[in-house]
């Protein structure tokens, strides 16, 4: 785009130069040094030069504005294009993940793995305790103001719908990403507000970091002084099969019905 604008200007100035030299005429000789400040021919020459410069400035104005407008249009188009490409890429990843059957490998990093934490009763828990069960994991923190409560309420409602519609049991699990504040007691009081079957897990900073890394969960404490801080984290639920193999993840865009129906579909296909 810029190349076209600059090329247009180059042609414009070239045409002026060509017009000045056509017909065998020569460009006017520069005025004598002593006449530059005089009132005679030097003044007239200066006036002509100023008029020519003004004419060029006026004629060059529309070209500059046109270039600016083209820049805005092109820039906006690029932004829209990359936004669409980003959404398309995310959708492809979701479709690719949903198409993977348990036990298959597509060359990507595995999700899930060994961990050791404490449940909300203070008892040690590992990934082996969930073998033989369908499990739905969600990572969050008890001081979360809105997103975590919304997601856990959705999880609880979906678990009930799955049992009601398909007579299937899925174990809901909440894992904290804020071990500094989320003690066993804090997690116990928190999970009982959502569902009687919801299991809360916590642990040391290193233990939580290990399980978050295993499930590819992003989390980061915001830079705030004292204990009144928030934690940025991934908003994803992970469905694990009875072999504790990753099956599918569900983002914030799933509502209760689509979450329940999606899990039922995965369980039936697994059988």
Q: Which parts are annotated binding residues?
A: 144, 148, 233
Beta-bridge partner residues of 137: 173, 238
Instruction: Give the three-state DSSP class for 192.
Output: coil
Distance separating alpha carbons of residues 51 and 47, to the nearest angstrom: 6
| Side-by-side strand order, sheet with 236-240 | 124-126, 116-119, 199-202, 170-176, 134-140, 236-240, 246-251
Please write down the long-range contacts of 177-180, taking CB distance under 8 Å and 24 or more positions apart.
Answer: 177/139, 177/140, 177/141, 177/208, 177/212, 177/217, 177/219, 177/231, 177/233, 178/141, 178/142, 178/143, 178/221, 178/231, 179/203, 179/204, 179/205, 179/207, 179/208, 180/205
Q: Annotated binding site for Cu cation, which residues?
A: 144, 148, 233
Region for 113 from its dihedrals, namely left if φ exceeds 0, alpha if ψ lies in -120 to 50, beta otherwise: left
Using the 8-state DSSP alphabet, how is residue 175 labeled? Answer: E
Contact 115, 211 (CB under 8 A): yes
Q: In this structure, what are the phi and psi dihedrals at residue 249, rounded to the nearest 5 degrees?
A: -110, 155
């Amino acid at each position: 785009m810029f190349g076209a604008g600059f090329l247009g200007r180059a042609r414009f100035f070239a045409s002026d130069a060509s017009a000045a030299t056509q017909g065998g005429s020569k460009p006017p000789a520069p005025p004598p040094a002593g006449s530059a400040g005089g009132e005679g021919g030097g003044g007239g020459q200066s006036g002509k030069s100023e008029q020519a410069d003004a004419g060029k400035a006026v004629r060059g104005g529309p070209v500059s504005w046109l270039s600016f407008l083209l820049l805005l249009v092109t820039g906006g188009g690029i932004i829209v294009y990359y936004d669409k490409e980003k959404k398309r890429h995310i959708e492809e990843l979701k479709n690719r993940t949903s198409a993977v059957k348990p036990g298959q490998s597509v060359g990507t990093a595995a999700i899930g793995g060994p961990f050791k934490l404490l449940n909300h009763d203070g008892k040690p828990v590992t990934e082996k305790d969930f073998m033989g069960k369908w499990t739905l994991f969600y990572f969050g923190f008890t001081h979360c103001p809105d997103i975590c409560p919304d997601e856990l309420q959705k999880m609880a409602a979906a678990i009930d719908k799955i049992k009601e519609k398909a007579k299937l049991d899925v174990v809901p699990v909440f894992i904290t990403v804020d071990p500094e504040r989320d003690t066993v007691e804090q997690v116990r009081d928190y999970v009982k507000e959502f569902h009687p079957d919801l299991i809360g897990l916590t642990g040391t900073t290193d233990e939580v970091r290990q399980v978050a890394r295993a499930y590819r969960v992003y989390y980061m404490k915001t830079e705030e002084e004292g204990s009144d801080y928030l934690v940025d984290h991934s908003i994803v639920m992970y469905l694990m099969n009875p072999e504790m193999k990753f099956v599918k993840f569900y983002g914030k865009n799933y509502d209760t019905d689509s979450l329940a129906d999606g899990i039922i579909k995965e369980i039936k296909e697994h059988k």
